[in-house]
Amino acid sequence: MQRLMAEMLGTLFLVLVGCGVAIMAAGAGGVGMLGVALAFGLTLVAMAYTVGPISGCHLNPAVTVGLWVSGRFDAKDVVPYILAQCVGAAVGAGALFMIASGAPDFAVGGFASNGFAEHSPGGYSMQAVLMTEIIMTALLVIVILGTTSNVVANGFAPLAIGLTLTAIHLVSLPVSATSVNPARSLGTALFADGWAMDQLWLFWVAPLAGAILASLVYRMFSDGK
């Protein structure tokens, strides 16, 4: 239960802070894409140091599945972790909705949800968004597997993982508003306009596929380390 609570709280803060910056502080005169990318990356670093010793700080169903495929995580814990992450993301998005809706000019719109075609920030096609999410999630999972292996010095993994998530956002924010995390996508979609739920399937399929691909590739060249 402590591990599940850690996953829930960590995912809650990741969604609340990362998506909060995207919704309330990224517009004209705000922090822009760099600020959003740093918000997600730095929050992940902070959560990794805070809840990592308790739960491993997955905060992401794709990471949980990737670690399971790579042999680093017990199968019996996969579903409970994913459920805890989804609950945390929903609560974080709900808290964000309550805060953001207090603004006089608030309009829910996409609510920082991920989308493709006309709902992609840059109008990117479904195929482009699918490819982006698969590749970026694979990159994230490979970095996690590599930096948490038993041949890497302890203590630096959160920094490497957080910086990787920052870089991933800088690349993919214009394409898909950056998911690489099905729980994060679910959380905001619950409060956004109806199209977000209609397109949510891609932001589960692509990150999970990318995580599985990364884990299989990593196992081929890591010798199980």
Residue with the two structure tokens 């998005």: 93
The whole-model pTM stands at 0.94
Interval 60-72: pLDDT, tens: 999 999 999 999 9
Average pLDDT over residues 86-104: 96
The residue among 85, 95, 96 whose CA lies nearest residue 58 is 85
Whether 74 has a pLDDT exceeding 70, the answer reads yes
Interval 169-193: pLDDT, tens: 999 999 999 999 999 999 999 999 9
To the nearest 10°, the Cα dihedral for 164, 19, 57, 8?
Answer: -170
Confidence band for 153, pLDDT divided at 50, 70 and 90: low
Check residue 29 and give its pLDDT. Answer: 76
Interval 6-61: pLDDT, tens: 999 999 999 999 999 999 998 767 889 999 999 999 999 999 999 999 999 999 99
Q: Name the average pLDDT for the chain.
A: 94
